[in-house]
Amino acid sequence: MRRGEIDGARQAPKRAVLGTIVEAFEIASPVEAIEPYGRGLINDTFRVVAGGTRYVLQRINGAVFPDPLRIMSNIQVLDRQARLHPDLGFRVPVLIATRTGEAGLRAPDGNVWRLMTLIEDAVGLPRLETPEQAREVGRLLGRFHTLLQSLPADALSVTLPGFHDTPAYLARFLSVLARVEGARNDPDVEIGVRFALDRQALAKRLADARDRGEIPVRVIHGDPKLDNILFDRDSGRALALIDLDTLQPGLILHDIGDCLRSCCNRSGESAGGLNRVSFDLAVAEPILHAYAEQTRAWLSAEEIALIPEAIRLMPFELGLRFLTDHLEGDRYFKVAEPGENLRKAGIQFDLVTDIEGKAADIRALVSRWNASEV
Ligand code: GN1
Ligand code: MG
C-alpha cells in the first residue's frame, strides 16, 4: 500500500458528509448530533444521536481490513450465539442495516462504514481500581470464550490475516530494520532494537505449540484490552466486549495475554513522566481466578500451562508492532505526534522486563488454576 492512500483515508470527514452517511442507515430521524468518540488506533469512531437513540458510527480502516464486510458477518454469528445463550448475559451491539438492506455502507471513496447501537448504561474504565473490577474482567473474558468455544473456528471469517502472527511481525521488523537507513542512529530506537533482537526466540513459542497441534485454534476476540470492556454504570458488572473487528479464529492465549498486558499495566499504554511501568500481580490474580472459574470445563491443560508465556509474549508483540510502525513512518497506528509509537514500544518492552522479573510469581498464580483457591 502506498503512503498517500493511508494518509488520505485518515482525514476526518466533514459534518455534512457524516450526516449523509448516517442517513443511509435505517435509523430514526432527525440526526441530532455526531461527534468523535473513543480512542481507537485503527478505525474512526463517532457517536451519533438520532431520534433520541444513541449509535456508534465507524469508518473501518480499509488499509488494515481487506474485506470489512466479513467483520459484520462475524458480528452476526456472535449475536446469534449470544441469543442462544442468554444465561451468559452477554451484550452485543446491534448492527443497523442500510436502507438498502446491507450490513455496511460502501462510500464512493471505497471506505466501508457501519452503524451500531451504543450499549446503554455502560461505561469504560481508564484503569482497574478494585479486585472486584478485575474479577469482572476475568469473568467477562471467560464467558465470552465459553460462548464461542462451541463454534468450530472456521465458522468465523478471517477479518485480518496475519493478526497476532508474532513470527511474521518479527520478520517484518527485521526487514524494515534492514531497509530503513540510519534507523539505529537514534539511541531510543537502538534500545528498542536491541531489546527485540535479544528476544527473537520468544516470537515463535505459541505459534510452534499451535503448529505441533498442542493448542487448538478457537474463536477469539483479538483485542480484549481494557478500553474494549464495558461495565454496567450502576452495578459495576462487566457487560460487553466491544470492538469486534478482530473476532476471528486464533489462539485463546493471545486473548488472555492481551487482556492481562492491558489491564495489569495500570499506568496505561501511553504512560508518561515518572510512572514506572509495572505488571500488577494484584490485578492479574483476580482476573485469572475469575477466568478459570468460567473456563475450567473446557480449557486444556496445555493452554493453561502456556499462560505465563502468553503474558510475556503479548506486550513483546505489541512493542514490536509499535516499533516497526515507528520505523515505517507511523503508517498503521494513529499517532498524535511523531515519536509516539517509539515511546509506546518502550512502554510495552518495559512491561515485558517487569513480567520477566515476576515470572516465578506468575507461574505460581497459574499453577493454582485447578486447585481449590482458583
Ligand atoms: C489496536 O483497534 P484498536 O485501536 O482498539 C490494535 C490492537 C492493539 C491495540 C493497542 C486491528 O486496537 O492489536 O493491541 O491497538 N488493533 C489492530 O491499543 O491492529
Ligand atoms: Mg481493535
Using the mean position of ligand 2's atoms as its centre, give its distance from the Cα of residue 200 in Å.
Answer: 25
Instruction: Give the global pTM.
Output: 0.95
Helix boundaries (H) for the chain: 3-10, 15-23, 68-84, 131-149, 166-179, 187-198, 205-211, 252-263, 281-295, 301-305, 307-327, 340-357, 359-367
| Distance between first and last Cα of the chain | 48
Q: Is the peptide bond before 30 cis (omega within 30 degrees of 0)?
A: yes
The domain spans of the chain are 3-120, 131-367
Ligand nearest to the CA of 269: 1
C-alpha 320/C-alpha 119 separation (Å) is 33
Assigned architecture for domain 3-120: 2-Layer Sandwich (3.30)
Q: How big is the CA angle at 165 (ends 308 and 261), to the nearest 5 degrees? A: 40
State the residue for C-alpha cell 479464529: 249
pLDDT of residue 3: 33
Selected from 3.40.50.720, 3.90.1200.10, 3.40.50.10420, 3.40.50.2300, the CATH number assigned to the domain covering 131-367 reads: 3.90.1200.10
Using the mean position of ligand 1's atoms as its centre, give its distance from the Cα of residue 333 in Å.
Answer: 8
C-alpha 117/C-alpha 102 separation (Å) is 16
261 ligand 1 Cβ < 6 A: no
**pLDDT, tens only, 37-75:** 998 999 999 999 999 999 999 999 999 999 999 999 999
C-alpha 209/C-alpha 206 separation (Å) is 5
pLDDT of residue 18: 94
38 ligand 1 Cβ < 6 A: no
pLDDT of residue 271: 81
What protein residues have CB closer than 5 angstroms to ion ligand 2? 223, 243
Residue stretches of the chain with pLDDT short of 50: 1-9, 372-374
pLDDT of residue 10: 60
The b-or-e profile of 153-192 (16+ CB within 10 A means b, else e) is: beebbbbbeebbbbeebbebbeebbeeeeebeeeeebeeb
Using the mean position of ligand 2's atoms as its centre, give its distance from the Cα of residue 245 in Å.
Answer: 6
Using the mean position of ligand 2's atoms as its centre, give its distance from the Cα of residue 40 in Å.
Answer: 7
Using the mean position of ligand 1's atoms as its centre, give its distance from the Cα of residue 246 in Å.
Answer: 9
Ligand nearest to the CA of 259: 1
288 ligand 1 Cβ < 6 A: no
pLDDT of residue 29: 83
Under 8 Å CB-to-CB from 321, ≥6 apart: which residues?
169, 332, 333
Ligand 1, atom 14, lies closest to the CA of: 223
**pLDDT, tens only, 107-153:** 988 899 999 999 999 999 999 999 999 999 999 999 999 999 989 99
